[in-house]
Chains A and B, each alone.
Chain A
Amino acid sequence: MKLRYERPYLKKMNVGVMNKFGSRSDFQPVKFIDGVSVKSLTDKYGSPVFVLSERQIRKNYQSAVRSFNTRYPKVQFAWSYKTNYINAVCNVFHQEGSWAEVVSGFEYHKAIGNGVAGNHIIFNGPEKKEADLKLAIENDSLIHIDHFEELYKLIDICEALNKKPRVAIRVNMDTGIYPLWDRFGFNYENGQAWNAILKIVGLGKMQLVGLHCHIGTFMLSTSAYAIATSKLCDLAMKCKNQLQNPIEYLDLGGGFPSTNTLKGSYLPGVDTVPPIDDFAEAITTTILGYGFQQNELPMLILETGRALIDDAGYLLGSVIANKQLSDGRRATILNFGVNLLFTSFWYDHHISPAQDFTHYTEETILYGPMCMNIDVIRESINLPLLSPGDLVVVHKVGAYNMTQWMQFISTRPAVVLIDETGQTHEIRQAETLKYMEIPESVPVHLQHKK
């Protein structure tokens, strides 16, 4: 067989203490995703392209549900739309039995469009427009109140509509983690939350059915959830005992981490991130041990997003060029950048080549194709020697990228779903210039003359 050409390389001699963990350099190429070859995917749908595995999504969902519902009798997941609101993705979750958790009128309408029953939509977020609130009330959705202004607005709307919507308040609290997320909802410690509860129950214009918190994102501590749960339980118990207003559900929000490696962490995410089982254990034992009557246990709602989809998403791309930087470091330019891989600001993404290579590796910087200095995918990564045109696979990109990606400098690529039988479906087409210009209009005096 003809030997494959690889460029020559130089390796810096490391002196001093060896890395005691002896990190692996024997890479395995990732040539297939769910049995579909990477090459065929880029050939058919172009490069770069996002790929999602339906099998993995369902597996994640069922596994998370199993973790919770074998520990607690009433559990409901609500798919966090902002994590990934491509309709096909949402519908996989809805098929599995998940409700919808939305944070804007835009997302609310998306959920309705996906056929989610009004009473299965949780409406969160600091900005809810009056028209959206009215629609949510008409649809019997669960409205999670974020601040007093919204509470007063809702009271006005209720009076005008003569309806009694089902609401919850979002509570923020000190769970011993830093930073404290106190910008959303009503604070527990300073009594604001109880104050809001008193107002809602006292006025009787709305039914207070739930309590909601969302203590942070990519939480690595399970004990924080135990603290949050116990504080919500405390409020729920007070609602029942002091206000005779039993709480129907506790919404612990999201925040469970995926197994991505956060920037700056010493060990890879797979080794440091607690499994969902541990969070489930912390949350459910707290509620079960809090002293609710068996038949009065509140329903537990979870708005898990990232942990359910991150590892089901892949970004396939190609090498544009290799470079040597002024200080001698190697750099590789890829055809996708931070415009598509927003999460590269947060994670050291695991990236694999998609073709065979020798065992030699080299430390490289991975740049995107933007003519912007910040367009760095990985500041330092050991990779086999890649040639222009070689394909790479970025792992665990299912969460937030397909909602926070930017149409910056170039358009956004296609998103492909591999179903459980191995069939591929283009669930979002690559954007075109024409598509991008649909909302634009050029005043006559600025139009170019033909």
Chain B
Amino acid sequence: MINNLKGQKAVKELVTSVLHSYSVVFFSQNKVFGFLLLVVSFLNVNAGIAGLACVVFSLTLVHLLGYQKENIRMGLYSFNSLLLGIGFGSFFQLNPSFWIWITAACFFVVILTIVITSLLGKYGLPVLTIPFIFTFWIVLLAVNGFATMGLQQINSVLLNEMQNTKPESITGLINYFQSVKVPYYFDLFFRSLSAILFQNSVFCGMIMSVGLFLHSRITFTLMVLGFTVACVFNSLTGTYLNEISYYHLGSNLMMVSTAIGGFFLIPSVRSYVWAIIAVPMTILLINALTNLLGIPNLPIFSMPFCIVTLSLLYFFMLRINPGKLALTPFQHYSPEVNLYQFLNGKERLHDLNYLRLNLPFMGSWTVSQGYNGDITHKGEWAKALDFVVKDELGHTFISSGSNCEHYYCFNKPVLACADGIIEDVVDHVDDNEINVLNTAQNWGNSVVIKHIGGLYSKVSHLKKASIKVNVGDFIKQGELIGLCGNSGRSPEPHLHFQTQLAPYVGSKTFEYPMAYFVSTQPNSVPKFNNFCVPEEGTIVQAPVINGSLKKAFSFQPGYSATVKSNTGQEEVWEVFTDALNQSYIYSLTSGATAYFVNNGTVFYFTSFYGSQNSLLYLFYQSAYKVIFSSKSYVKACDQFPLHLSSNKVELWVHDIVAPFYQFIKQKFVSECTYEQAGFMIKSEECKELFGRSTQVMSATIHVKENAIKSFSVSSKGKEINLIWCSES
């Protein structure tokens, strides 16, 4: 029984890997698309068989040799074999020596794939189809030199032009399609697409187009773009007198615009421009390489595509200030997902971009001088903050204010804004009389802390002999450094705070946001801020964190829970961390995965993978972002990435224009309130279409005794109630 289950799982895994091997040729992990490609590859039966055989063979090989499972599953080690197989089947006749040499070549292509993947991987570059090209060149060189070695070429013209492949077996229906008169450019487009699989068939191209569109609207658009640009260039320059070869149009020109325009770069106006620029560059290479490789009589295959893509990618990677043209930070194998996650992450994943800095004090302080302040925050020292404590009348002192002790902020604890190591301490400068400046020792008593990632923070004008830390001490966020004072260039007691990139007391400032704080403008409700710089004149304080909510959402690796819905569904969830130290909840039942961040102030999900019917998806939706504060003014506002939108038709239309303009927004808001002996988190999701908002989901999470007890989600008129039983 167990063996049986294991076997089933292995077969399922193999099928997935096979389908991925097909779809990944087009930078996709879409199984339907993979299946369609598998089917059309059999339009040339020999090529189809050889391709599939090579895929299964190489998958088995890398599996047995124990390479990285995830890469095997994604087909990354086997798509070159697929191309090799299809190529072999298209070029040579099936006979015993065919199988001998294809096996040998298959070994070779797998070895090359593994080796080149690793070599290029060090530079963050993909392997593309290089292993296939090299292997096939070797095969062809071998065949040419040694009287065919028993391999018989089907058609030598094909080798040179690769445009006259005739499908071997055509059924009546396909014949019908083949004979259908389609306009010239459509015919050219479909044939070019099919040429990527070494075919020359409108029908095949049509099926592939459908699969491609299913997989990604952006990829499809870019294919059309690459095609159009190539045709326009051709007609303008007249490079090819008759017509471009289908193969080069498909495998090189259309693929290069897809790779640059939407796969390795985040799709945007800029990436589309580069996709256009890449086309003439590729044409140049096609012609050059064709001439060069004409000498040993080798076809160039998709070498121009590989060279242009890799060099452009590396070229972009070497930029110091990347600006708005962004490389895909994490590959989701879908331009849409890449784009939506990127746009979404840019707005919300501050935890990955910044160190979490807290305010360096307790209680409510007023920013008396902000960034670029009029008094002293100028030039290279402009990005600094001065804080004082004010009373309800706006005064900073009691009595006459003639003495440091009269000032509210004087003698108040100053804290470490984040974990770090004490880099420098000055503790001997006398505190000034009020309105006296000590410009000789400008910064007064100061502490510089070295944080992770080369960031330094500094507090200045502390009280003489109040500093509690020594150089070299490790200090944790929120620990006491010293007391607020009036030393250095300070006419009245205040706290100077700045972030910098050098370890010296006098270093110039560097702009850096404070992670979370509550700000109050005079006569307005407090506002919860995340990752921004406090403005001059505002009263700021640390958010009040609710310990119960914080504990309820602290899912440590190993935490597991069973969730039961009133619809009879039941799932077991467990928390894991991945190799990049990111935590995620994994549904052992449905296989769905939801990555999250819990930084002690906020819990939020960063991404979701898997079935949207999973109960985990309901939790992902309802607890997308939760701030651990039950203050009424604290509302967690956020946006969902669009690819999880439920209305697919609407989304597909959106996908096409998404690189330029987004008209759909999926907004999320949640707030926590007290309820009987616990807390209730209310959240809702609204869809904004051209600015018109409609509620699509509302949810309630109940927290009691420091744990989530239940939650309910209602969307599309249905309400699902779920009970949460944690086991650890």
- Is the C-beta of A58 less than 8 angstroms from some C-beta in chain B? yes
A167-211, CB < 8 A from B: none
> In the complex, are the beta carbons of A294 and B477 less than 8 A apart?
yes
> Which residues of A are found within 8 Å of B674, using beta-carbon distances?
117, 119
- For residue B424, CB closer than 8 A to chain A, the reply is no
Enumerate B478-518 residues with CB–CB distance to A below 8 Å.
Answer: 478-480
Is A248 among interface residues, defined by CB-CB distance under 8 A? yes
B412–A71 CB distance below 8 A: yes
Residues of A within 8 A of B600 (CB): 295
| Chain B positions within 8 Å of A72 at CB level | 362
CB distance from B62 to the nearest CB of A (A): 47
Q: A119-B677, A140-B676, A140-B677 are in contact. Are A66 and B408 (CB under 8 A)?
A: yes
Among A68, A73, A140, A294, point to the contact of B542 (Cβ < 8 A): A73
Measured CA separation A70–B388 after assembly (Å) = 11
Query: What residue in chain B is nearest A118 (Cβ atoms)?
Result: B676
Whether A71 contacts B392 by the Cβ 8 Å rule is no
- Whether A70 contacts B479 in the complex (CB less than 8 A), given A140-B677, A248-B547, comes out as no
The 8 A CB mask of B387-416 against A (1 = contact, 0 = none) is 001011000000000000000110111000
Nearest chain A CB to B176 CB, angstrom units: 73
Contact with B along A130-163 (1 / 0, CB 8 A): 0000000001100000000000000000000000
1/0 per residue B325-365: CB within 8 Å of A? 00000000000000000000000000000000000011111
Q: Are B542 and A70 in contact (CB under 8 A)?
A: no
Q: How many residues of B contact A (CB 8 A)?
A: 26
Return chain B residues, CB-CB under 8 Å to A69: 362-364, 541
| B166 CB-CB contact with A under 8 Å | no
Question: Does A47 make an interface contact (CB < 8 A)?
Answer: no
**Distance (whole angstroms) from the CB of B484 to the closest CB of chain A:** 9
Given contacts A119-B674, A140-B676, A288-B413, contact A70 B391 (CB under 8 A): no
Q: With A69-B362, A70-B362 as given contacts, are A62 and B477 in contact (CB-CB < 8 Å)?
A: no
**A59 and B389: CB pair below 8 A?**
no
Decide yes or no whether B378 CB sits under 8 A from chain A.
no
Q: Is the CB of B478 within 8 A of A294?
A: yes
Q: Are B391 and A63 touching (Cβ within 8 A)?
A: yes
Does B476 lie at the interface of the complex (its beta carbon under 8 Å from any beta carbon of A)?
A: yes
- How many interface residues does chain A have, given as a range? 20 to 34
Task: Kindly identify, within residues 531 to 582 of chain B, every residue whose CB is under 8 Å from any CB belonging to chain A.
Answer: 541-542, 544, 547
The complex places the Cα of A50 from the Cα of B538 at a distance, in Å, of: 38
Tell me, in angstroms, the Cα distance from A139 to B676 when the chains sit together: 7
Q: Are A70 and B476 in contact (CB under 8 A)?
A: no
Q: Which residues of A contact B413 (CB under 8 A)?
A: 70-71, 288
Tell me the smallest distance from the CB of A115 to a CB of chain B, in Å.
13
- How distant is the Cα of A417 from the Cα of B419 in the complex, in angstroms? 49
Nearest neighbor of A289 in chain B, beta-carbon distance: B480
Within 8 A of B (CB), among A45-88: 58-59, 62-63, 65-66, 68-74
Known: A70-B361, A70-B362, A70-B363. A62 touches B391 (CB 8 A): yes
Interface 1/0s, chain B 583-606, versus A by CB < 8 A?
Answer: 000000000000000001000000
Interface of A is mostly: helix
A74-B550 Cα distance, complex, nearest whole Å = 15
- Residue contact A70 to B677, C-beta cutoff 8 Å: no
**Closest chain A residue to B409, Cβ basis:** A70
Partner of A58, one of B392, B477, B480, B676: B392
For the complex, what is the distance from the CA of A72 to the CA of B412, rounded to whole Å?
A: 10
Q: How far is the CA of A74 from the CA of B545 in the complex (A)?
A: 9
A66 touches B547 (CB 8 A): no
Per-position binary interface string of chain B over residues 169-187, scored 1 when its CB falls under 8 Å from any chain A CB and 0 otherwise: 0000000000000000000
Q: Complex Cα distance A71/B411, Å?
A: 9
The smallest beta-carbon distance between A247 and chain B, in angstroms, is: 12
- Which A residues touch B542, using CB under 8 A? 73
Specify which chain A residues have a CB less than 8 angstroms from the CB of B676 in the assembled complex: 118, 139-140
Q: Chain B contacts of A118 at CB under 8 A?
A: 676
Cα distance A55–B379 in the bound complex, in angstroms? 43
Residues of B within 8 A of A59 (CB): 391-392
Please determine whether B392 and A70 come into contact, CB atoms closer than 8 angstroms: no
Q: How far is the CB of A384 from chain B (nearest CB, A)?
A: 29
A294 touches B479 (CB 8 A): yes
Q: How far apart are A34's CB and chain B's nearest CB, in angstroms?
A: 14
Q: Do the beta carbons of B389 and A70 come within 8 Å of each other? A: yes
> Contact: A73 with B362, CB < 8 Å?
yes
In the assembly, what is the distance between CA of A58 and CA of B392, in Å?
9
Report chain A residues within 8 Å CB of B541.
69
- Quote the shortest CB–CB distance from B40 to chain A (angstroms): 60
Distance A102 CA – B284 CA, assembled complex (angstroms): 86
- Please, which residues of chain B bring their CB within 8 A of the CB of A65? 363
A70 touches B408 (CB 8 A): yes
Give every chain A residue within 8 A of B409 (Cβ-Cβ): 70
In the bound assembly, the distance between CA atoms of A94 and B510 in angstroms comes to 42
Chain B residues, CB < 8 A from A70? 361-365, 389, 408-409, 412-413
Give the nearest-CB partner of A72 in chain B. Answer: B362
Chain B residues with CB below 8 A from A281, complex form: 411
Distance to closest chain A CB from B629 (angstroms): 13
- Report chain A residues within 8 Å CB of B677: 119, 140
**Which A residues are CB-close (under 8 A) to B363?**
65-66, 68-71
A61 to B, closest residue via Cβ = B392
Q: Which residue of chain A has its CB nearest to the CB of B412?
A: A70
Which residues 665-680 of B sit at the A interface, judged by CB distance below 8 A?
Answer: 674, 676-677
Check A71/B476 contact, CB under 8 A, given A119-B677, A248-B547, A288-B413: no
Chain B residue nearest to A63 in the complex (CB)? B391
CB-CB under 8 A from A58, the residues of chain B are 392
| A residues near B412, Cβ cutoff 8 Å | 70-71
User: A66–B476 contact, CB under 8 A?
Assistant: no
Q: Contacts A66-B363, A69-B362, A248-B547: A288 and B389 contacting too (C-beta < 8 A)?
A: no
List A contacts of B408 (CB < 8 A). 66, 70
Q: In angstroms, how far is the closest chain A Cβ from the Cβ of B719?
A: 27
Smallest distance from the beta carbon of A5 to chain B beta carbons, Å?
41
Cα–Cα, bound, A206→B544 (Å): 26
In the assembled complex, which residues on chain A have CB atoms less than 8 Å from the CB atom of B392?
A: 58-59, 62
**Which of chain A's residues have a CB closer than 8 A to the CB of B480?**
288
Produce 1/0 per residue, B367-399, CB < 8 A to A.
000000000000000000000010110000000
What is the chain B residue whose CB lies nearest that of A119?
B674
Q: Which residues of B contact A288 (CB under 8 A)?
A: 413, 480
A254 CB to nearest B CB, Å: 21
Contacts of A66 in B (CB 8 A): 363-364, 389, 391, 408
Q: Which residue of B lies closest to A120 (CB)?
A: B674
Q: Mark A411-426, 1 if CB is under 8 A from B, else 0.
A: 0000000000000000
| A281–B412 alpha-carbon span in the complex (Å) | 9
Q: Is the CB of B362 within 8 A of A294?
A: no
* Interfacial residues of chain A within 267-307, with CB under 8 A of chain B in the complex: 281, 288, 294-295
In the assembled complex, the Cα of A295 lies from the Cα of B674 at a distance in Å of 22
Residue of A nearest to B478 (CB): A294
Give B600 Cβ to nearest chain A Cβ, in Å.
8
From 436 to 481 in chain B, residues with beta carbon under 8 angstroms from any chain A beta carbon are 476-480
Q: Which residue of B lies closest to A68 (CB)?
A: B363
**What is the bound-complex CA distance between A295 and B547, given in angstroms?**
10
Q: Considering the chains assembled together, what is the distance between the CA atoms of A73 and B479 in angstroms?
A: 11
Task: Determine how close the nearest CB of chain A comes to the CB of B486; give it in whole angstroms.
Answer: 16
A117 CA to B673 CA, complexed, in Å: 11
A258 to B355, CA, bound (A): 45
CA–CA, A174 and B105, complex, Å: 90
Q: Are A294 and B476 in contact (CB under 8 A)?
A: yes
Q: Which residues on the B side are within 8 Å of A294 (C-beta)?
A: 476-479
Nearest residue, chain A, Cβ from B476: A294
Task: Please name 7 further chain A to chain B contacts, defined as beta carbons within 8 Å, in addition to the given A70-B413, A73-B478, sorted by A numbering.
Answer: A63-B391, A66-B391, A70-B361, A70-B389, A70-B412, A71-B363, A117-B674
What are the 5 closest A-B residue pairs judged by CB atoms, nearest first?
A70-B363, A69-B363, A140-B677, A294-B478, A70-B412
Q: Can you spell out 15 A-B residue pairs with CB atoms less than 8 angstroms apart?
A: A59-B392, A66-B363, A66-B389, A66-B408, A68-B363, A70-B412, A71-B362, A73-B362, A74-B544, A117-B674, A139-B676, A140-B676, A281-B411, A288-B413, A288-B480
